[in-house]
Every structure is written in C-alpha cells, then in structure tokens.
Chains A and B, each alone.
Chain A
Amino acid sequence: MRKHNAKVLRSVRLDIGQLSAIVPESLSFCFEVMTSGTELEGAKLIMEIIPLRGTCRDCGREFEIKEYAFECPHCSSPHIDTIAGQELSIVEMEVD
C-alpha cells in the first residue's frame, strides 16, 4: 500500500486451491477479526477456489481431477501431474 501511495484497502483477492488445507469460512472470519479496529477495517477478502486439474504423463491430456481420483479419465493412467488446485496466493488488492 505504501508503494502505491494508497490509504484505504478495499479488497484482497486470494486464489485457494481445492487441495490446500484452507477453510475459506475460517480464513474469512480470521481476516475480519484481524482487521477490525485497524486501518484495514472494512476490507473485503475475496477468495476464488481453484479446482484440481492435472495432465496425464502418458496421453498428455489435461482434465479436472474429480473427487480426488488421480487417474486419467481418458486413458486410465495413474501417472498424473497436478497443475492446479494447490494454490494459496494473494492475486490482487484494490486500494484507494
């Protein structure tokens, strides 16, 4: 905020992978508790849940991993590289 000469934090956007050990409701609650009474009070925490996706090392196709089954839905290969769904990142902040 200092870098952008901002006074007010409007919102923070997070990417949260489906497989990360994050409970969005708890994080939201903590964020509210931590910011209340500070200059960040009122800022919104926006969380986007990123679904699990993988690519198959055998047939090369990309797909959504459903119900935590790490098996290629096209060729049934168990050799899957996870490419999304383990994020825990701050993506964007809106400031004034």
Chain B
Amino acid sequence: MKVSVVKNILEANDRIAQENRAIFDENDLLVFNLMSSPGAGKTSLLENTIDALKEDLKIGVIEGDIQSSQDAERIAEKGIPAVQINTGGACHLDGNMIRDTFKEFDFDALDLLVVENVGNLVCPAEFKVGEDFKAMILSVTEGEDKPAKYPLMFHESKVLLINKIDLLPYVDCSVEKIKKEALKINPEMTIFEISCKTGEGLDAWYNWLREEVKTRGSARKQ
C-alpha cells in the first residue's frame, strides 16, 4: 500500500522560526543571522560593529558555538547583552535554540539582534531562526572558489562581507572573482570588501546596516 505524505522535513523548524519572527516584529527588532566558516571573522566583525554603532543603536547578540563561551564573553565586554548557545555538537543553530534565549533579553530595549551562527558554510543556510535576513562573511584566505563550492549559503545571504582584504598581497585570491561568482548565484547580493584588522571598508557596512534598521522599523510601524 502506498501512502502519500508530502511533508516538508524542515517544517517544524520553519514554524518555530515564524513564531520567533512574530515576536521580533512586535518589538520592532531587526534580526540578522551571521554565518561563515570558522575563523572568517564573525566575532571580530561584531566587535567592530558594536564599537561603531552602540551609541546609535541598542544591540543584542546571540552567540552560537559547539562549545565554550569565549565569544559571548568577548561581546559582553562591550557592555551589551550577549547570550551564548552551546549546541553540544550540532553544526548550526535552529529556531528552537534561539527561542530558548528569549527569556534572557529585554527585546523592547533593543533595535538590533545579531545571531552569530556556528562556523560552517553548509547547514546554517538551511535552518531559519526567524531572522530578517542572512549575512555571510568570506575571508580572502579561504579562496575564491567558495561560492561555486557552497552555492546554497551564497544564494540565501542578502549580504556578503569579504573580510581580511589587508591580506590580499599575501594570498592567491581575486576579490573580483569572488564577487563575480557570488553574483552569479545571487545577483541581488550586496557585497562589502572589509578588513576587521585595519577597519578598511567598514564604514560602508555600518551605514548600510543603520539604513536597514531604520527602514525595517518604519516599514513595520506603517
């Protein structure tokens, strides 16, 4: 006997992500999901971004790692609310894990919540957490072939930050090639070339992010 099922396997997660999203919307909170390979510079980008924007925006951070609370401690040193999730082995965050952190935050007092995902270019792209958009970092030391090798992540991300451009003289990596390949997979992607070490290119990212917070907030209030 054949039984028709037609059930999206990720449906349970998608439903929780939608519920999370409704709570973020109620609080006029812009949420982005930051993804990259391990060591590409997610936490460094956040440290820089917090330093630059914390006078204008109230920021909160959820840190996802398999183990350790080092990242949340780095962020908390900046004097902003940071909650660490240890997945205990899982290679990505899901909607449920994010929901479990809500009791730690006063969302009403925040403008922007950043979810720093587990370092991984594959699975985080499949699991929604209730974010407004996904952002990804690719560092130039990882190589220009990554868009072709990990198309889903490049397809799902609204913004790409190409980090560590201060190292370009020492690596065989063409930023133009990364941009060309990424735009082939996702023609509407916004791309920034940055160095979290020297600060180059970060102002453009800050301005873009400020604008995102502003336009999302006003879109919801209409």
Using a CB–CB cutoff of 8 Å, the interface residues on chain A facing chain B are 4, 6, 14, 19-21, 68-71, 78-80, 82, 87-96
Contacts and interface: CB of A to CB of B under 8 A. Distances in A.
Interface stretch (B2-10, B32-40, B200-208): B2-10
Chain A's interface: helix, strand, loop or mixed, by majority?
loop
B187 A92 contact: no
Closest 7 pairs (CB-CB, A-B): A78-B187, A68-B151, A90-B5, A88-B9, A21-B122, A90-B7, A93-B3
B46 interface: no
Contacts, number: 66
A57 to B, nearest CB: 11
A93 B187 contact: no
A88 B6 CA distance: 10
B191 interface: no
A87 to B, nearest CB: 8
B126 interface: yes
A69 B10 CA distance: 25
A12 B122 CA distance: 25
Given A79-B187, A89-B8, A20 B1 contact: no
B101 to A, nearest CB: 24
B5 A91 contact: yes
Contacts of A19: 151-152, 155
B5 A71 contact: no
Contacts of B7: 89-90
B185 interface: yes
Nearest to B150: A21
Contacts of B166: none
Contacts of A70: 155, 184-187
Given A21-B125, A89-B8, A90-B9, A68 B155 contact: yes
